[in-house]
Amino acid sequence: MDTLNLDFNKRYTYADYLTWMDDVRRELFDGFIKLMTPSPSRSHQRISSNLHGIFWGFLRDKQCEVYHAPSDVRLPKGKQAKTDKQIYTVLQPDVYVICDLSKMDERGCLGAPDLVIEIISPKNSQRDTRDKFAIYQEHGVREYWIVSPNDETVNVFVLDEKGKFRFNGLYAGDDKIQVHIFKGEMKVDLTEVFLPERN
């Protein structure tokens, strides 16, 4: 439930978003509010931490950086639409990698990350596989991973020369995913991503 009683039929901007000073997690999809799960599951958090750690270890002496939720990614339409009142899409990917660090500021990322990873749950699977898929494709995210904790699988999509996501593969078990944006320099071992729970 939204504690500010915001109008879900109204279109808001990032400037509006900045005024909502409460504990409710939200994203803006072309100006329309989408509520987020207030507290992700333990398996979601474990997978997110594992992925962030793997990328952080690889990137710590390189130009690119890795971030994890909550971190705002502002996606303006057009090159001129970069003021807070002109931005209508604000997402919080579970994990993202950015190589053009000029896009980063103290409020997060302004523009498309190079790689985005979303970890789905039964409540948000359609949002990640359809809605965010379309948004990330439209804004030019170069690589998109959709992680399923229940199946312990990862679907990988890579942006082609026409600006469309191309299915790169479904990975599971002891597969190693070659990170496309790093042209073979990095492979992610899924046995290090889907570690068993410790009791």
**Per-residue pLDDT tens for 81-124?**
789 999 999 999 999 999 999 999 999 999 999 999 999 987 77
Can you give the length of the chain in residues?
A: 199
* pTM of the predicted protein model: 0.94
What confidence tens digit (pLDDT) does each residue in 29-69 have? 999 999 987 778 899 999 999 999 999 999 999 999 999 99
Token pair for 18: 């900045």
What per-residue confidence (pLDDT) applies to 2?
Answer: 58
| Sequence spans of domains, the chain | 39-69+91-193
How many CB atoms lie under 10 A from the CB of residue 52?
A: 18
Cα–Cα distance measured from residue 88 to residue 16, given in angstroms and rounded to the nearest whole number? 10
What per-residue confidence (pLDDT) applies to 3?
Answer: 61
**Mean pLDDT computed over every residue of the chain:** 93
Residue 153 has pLDDT above 70, yes or no: yes
What per-residue confidence (pLDDT) applies to 126?
Answer: 83
What's the number of CA atoms in the CB half-sphere (13 Å) around residue 151? 14
Token pair for 41: 């599951």
Confidence of residue 1 (pLDDT cuts 50, 70, 90): very low
Token pair for 19: 């005024």
59's enclosing H/E stretch is helix 42-59
Residue with tokens 């000029």: 102
Fill in the amino acid letter for 44.
H
153's enclosing H/E stretch is strand 153-159
65's enclosing H/E stretch is strand 65-68
Burial of 28 (0-12, 13-18, 19+ CB in 10 A): buried
22 or 143, higher pLDDT = 143
Judge whether 125 and 149 are in contact, CB under 8 Å.
no
Per-residue burial over 160-192, b if 16 or more Cβ lie within 10 Å, else e, is eeeeebeebeebeeebebbbbbbeeebebebee
Fold of the 39-69+91-193 domain: tt1808, chain A (3.90.1570)
